[in-house]
Amino acid sequence: MKKCIIIMNPESGKVKSLSSKKEFYDILRKHGYDAEIRYTKAKRDATRIVEELEDDVDLVISAGGDGTLNEVVTGNLKRNKKLVLANLPMGTTNDVANMYGYTKNYQKNLELLLNGVRKKVDVCYIDETPFVYVACLGDYIDMAYNTPRDLKKKYGKTAYILYGLRQLRNKIHRYKVKYKVDGVEHEGEYSFFFITNSSRVAGVDDIYYDVKMDDNMFEVALANPKTKADILKMLVQVTMKDVKEVPGITYYQTNNFEIEFLNKRKTSWCIDGEEYPSSSNKFTFKVEQKIKMLIPRTNVKKLFDK
């Protein structure tokens, strides 16, 4: 039997919906895996668990949300021998899982990943910290990591909206920045910053129509809405067409992006749904490594070149 370790976040929204662990194990055994569940108890537990796993593990499944997946990937990158990873969505938003074609049924999802294909996936970095699919900064983005957990458990994705309504600000903060794309210098003033390796962010599908997970590139979108009305208008347009075609958004595809904030930031970067606290005003983004992931076949042709 092959060896499978499941890193499970007991605080994720759907973990308690597991109707039968026996059924869960039965599916894995049917596919030739002897499985063991290891629960996280605190932040960065998943990173530590994966980093300390034996080299004979054939598959590591991240059972949680996008933040748990980030920790599992981070732990894998710290290893000398990298392990094959997979994502079993159990969180609230699950942007990565939805992009890959998972459903809302965990049993079907487990079958999808176990019948999937191994692919090499780009890993992006902000300075020396890896992220799986998004690094973003701007007003209201702190909803991703500041929305109370009990609110998310009770209301699911609606919790973010409820928390956001409480945080409504009269003024949209704007930032003067200098930045480099592939060594070429630019300047501008923007309110929101998105560096992504994903076609889905914050529950919105197909933000980009041509994203590839293995092209050694990431997408940069710099947005300059001045009012809340501008934000709403921009959000509506994003749901209707490619980000590159939305007025007020500056777009780049690159693997070398540097940015310096010339005035004080009011919020932290958010990476994969978690806060990235930093006192620095300068940040470098790059594609540093690839990892092997077991991916459902649903959207493979759309998302991968190789």
Distance between CA atoms of 73 and 123, rounded to whole angstroms?
A: 9
Is the per-residue pLDDT at 150 higher than 70? no
Is the per-residue pLDDT at 292 higher than 60? yes
Which helix (DSSP H) or strand (DSSP E) does residue 204 occupy?
A: none
The predicted model gives 150-156 an average pLDDT of 53
Instruction: Give the bridge partners for 63, in sequence order.
Output: 8, 88
CB atoms within 10 A of CB 28: 20
Distance between CA atoms of 254 and 161, rounded to whole angstroms?
A: 32
Selected residue with higher pLDDT from 42 and 123:
123
User: Tell me, what's the pLDDT at 239?
Assistant: 80
Is the per-residue pLDDT at 79 higher than 60? yes
Q: Quick one: which of 89, 64, 91, 229 has its CA closest to 159? A: 91
The DSSP secondary structure of 152-183, one letter per residue, reads: HHHHTTHHHHHHHHHT--SS---EEEEEEETT
Per-residue pLDDT tens for 189-228?
Answer: 999 999 999 888 776 777 777 889 999 999 999 999 888 7
Report the largest interatomic distance among the alpha carbons of the chain, rounded to a whole angstrom: 59
Domains of the chain: 2-115 (3.40.50.10330), 129-289 (2.60.200.40)
% of residues, the chain, pLDDT over 70: 86
pLDDT band at 170 (very low <50, low <70, confident <90, very high): low
- Supply 82's token pair: 């990298």
Which helix (DSSP H) or strand (DSSP E) does residue 20 occupy?
A: none
Pairing assessment for the beta strands 282-295 and 256-261 based on DSSP bridges: antiparallel
CB 112 within 8 A of CB 296: yes
- What average pLDDT does the structure give for the chain? 86
User: Tell me, what's the pLDDT at 207?
Assistant: 79
User: Tell me, what's the pLDDT at 216?
Assistant: 94
pLDDT band at 107 (very low <50, low <70, confident <90, very high): confident
Listed in sequence order, the residues at least 6 apart from 3 whose beta carbon sits closer than 8 Å to its beta carbon are 33, 34, 56, 57, 58, 59
- The upper half-sphere exposure of residue 227, i.e. CA atoms within 13 Å in the direction of its Cβ, equals 3
User: Tell me, what's the pLDDT at 209?
Assistant: 76
Q: What is the CA radius of gyration of the chain?
A: 19
Using CA atoms, how far residue 72 sits from 7, 79, 147, 241, 257, in Å, is: 8, 11, 22, 33, 25
Q: Quick one: which of 225, 223, 161 has its CA closest to 195? A: 223
Helix 106-114 to helix 21-30 angle (10° resolution) is 20
User: Tell me, what's the pLDDT at 235?
Assistant: 82
User: Tell me, what's the pLDDT at 156?
Assistant: 52
User: Tell me, what's the pLDDT at 160?
Assistant: 45
Listed in sequence order, the residues at least 6 apart from 20 whose beta carbon sits closer than 8 Å to its beta carbon are none
Which of the residue ranges 46-60, 96-110, 259-273 has the most confident prediction, judged by mean pLDDT? Answer: 46-60
Is the per-residue pLDDT at 159 higher than 60? no
User: Tell me, what's the pLDDT at 143?
Assistant: 59
Selected residue with higher pLDDT from 193 and 65:
193
pLDDT band at 113 (very low <50, low <70, confident <90, very high): very high
pLDDT band at 154 (very low <50, low <70, confident <90, very high): low
User: Tell me, what's the pLDDT at 201?
Assistant: 77
Burial code (b: 16+ CB inside 10 Å, e: under 16) for 241-273 equals eebbebebbebbbbeebebebeeeeebebbbbb
pLDDT band at 142 (very low <50, low <70, confident <90, very high): low
